[in-house]
Amino acid sequence: MKGFGQDNEHFDGGTTEPRNDREGDVDMRRPARHRTLAVGVALLSLVAAVTVAVHAQQGTVSSSYGPTNQTLTFEQIKAGRLAVKEERARAHAELLRARYDLGVTTDPTVRMSGGKPVPVGPTARLSGTSWDGLGQMTPEQIRERGIFPYKPLPFPDHAEGGMLFPAMILKLLPRLTRFDLDFDLPEHVLPDPVPPIYLTTRPDLGDVSNGMVITLENYYATFNGLLNPKQLEGLRLLVTQFPQQQFNATEDRRTDRSDGMIGVTCFDCHVNGHTNKATHLVGDIRPQEFRHRIVTPSLRGVNVQRLFGSQRAMKTVEDFTEFEQRAAYFDGDHVMAAKKGVNVLERGSQVHFMAEFMAILDFPPAPKLNIYGELDAAKATPAEMRGQALFTGRARCSSCHPAPHYTDNDMHNLKAERFYKQALVNGMMMAHDGPIKTFPLRGIKDSPPYLHDGRCFTLEDTVEYFNLIQQLHLTGEEKKDLVAFLRVL
């Protein structure tokens, strides 16, 4: 015990000199054995107090990192997730029903390029007002009354997050099923489950998908002789599974299928080079409640785009391809990626080849547009012509979406938070959206729902959203004309 007491003197005072009565509570007149014992007890009490304090601090830390040293088994993790699945699904379904009319409303006369009827809106529910009445209010009035219909959309289980795929895709690719979460948005407001593929190199062929979802099993037979060797190899990599945060071989996964443990492919979300609107949370924001929901954008027309990622503003599709595999697949956590099996792509060959294929993915045909990307007056209807005049005129849509591809390759902050109060809803903080990339509008009818998080289910909803955001005060007929124009882009 003597040595222990001497160590305590170093710990308390940084010196080997003994303390006198006035420096502490130890009675120096007691025998040395008693003094040493008292000091030892004091040290143990101090260590215990420090330990409790450290644990208390750890309980309040919001870490940037996910837990890599997992102490639970897969079965324990699965049981924990299943225990909360039903309740969280119920809460999210209630939110969707409160915000939207989820009934199936489509226009059979207007179809996506793959043949699916286009959904019709607006679907957002209003509270105590009409669309015309809402359009006459100021942002402050809408905010104070709490009636903005297009607040940020939470993830189905925002505290959990991760890649989540629509049921229509799980029917085709069941390996993408998660045991803990189901996709939330109704199928009629999603794109074609098997979208066409158009190539800039062979526009004469039209859709080259042969009506199939392109996978590792059929890509070669479908495209051999149509692509050059680099493009074909790039496509192979785009349909090859690689580990991902929820789909991997560790105990910390959200699949109970052996084929799901291999991972996901780029084309699982960007099906046929387009999108199925699989959803995720952005990886570049912390803490969890501030992360934005995102829906998968189309890869059509990446050859004319100069920014990639809804908010990251990466400058090339090669940068984005590397980023997806290294970071976005794992919630922006490179430490977690190392554990779960990150696939580091080689820039000079693999990334380059993948980009070469993506660069030839074309927009769908738009027979009413001329060589400038504007309406051919001889083919357009009066409503479409009026819509174009509004688009380039009073509605100021072309300020950010100019022809021919209807993007300015820039980012803009719409400051939608002017219209609602910051609040925590279903695990998500309804806060600022921030600057968002201007996505191309060519072929836009093929890509519902809209905005970066899918909060606008239809083109009608999107027009209503921008009528409020820009305070345009459009009439009902003007809104219809704008939708008519957007459908033919």
pLDDT tens per residue, range 75-129: 999 999 999 999 999 999 999 999 999 999 999 999 999 999 999 999 999 999 9
Mean pLDDT is lowest, of 12-21, 372-381, 439-448, for: 12-21
The pLDDT, as a whole number, for residue 262 is 98
Q: 60 pLDDT band (50/70/90 cuts)?
A: low
pLDDT at 2 over 90: no
Q: 310 pLDDT band (50/70/90 cuts)?
A: confident
Q: How many domains does the chain have?
A: 1
Q: Is residue 34 one of the residues assigned to a domain?
A: no
Cα diameter, the chain: 110
pLDDT tens per residue, range 335-394: 999 999 999 999 998 999 999 999 999 999 999 999 999 999 999 999 999 999 999 999
The pLDDT, as a whole number, for residue 410 is 97
Q: Give the percent of the chain with pLDDT over 70.
A: 88
From the CB of residue 115, how many other CB atoms can be counted at a distance below 10 Å? 10
Q: Is residue 44 one of the residues assigned to a domain?
A: no
pLDDT at 58 over 80: no
Domain that holds residue 378: 76-487
Handedness of CA 58, 64, 69, 71 (dihedral sign): positive
- Compute the distance between CA of residue 324 and CA of residue 336 in angstroms, rounded to an integer: 14
pLDDT at 261 over 80: yes
Q: Is residue 201 one of the residues assigned to a domain?
A: yes
- Compute the distance between CA of residue 429 and CA of residue 140 in angstroms, rounded to an integer: 20
CA quadruple 7, 13, 16, 18: dihedral, nearest 10? -100
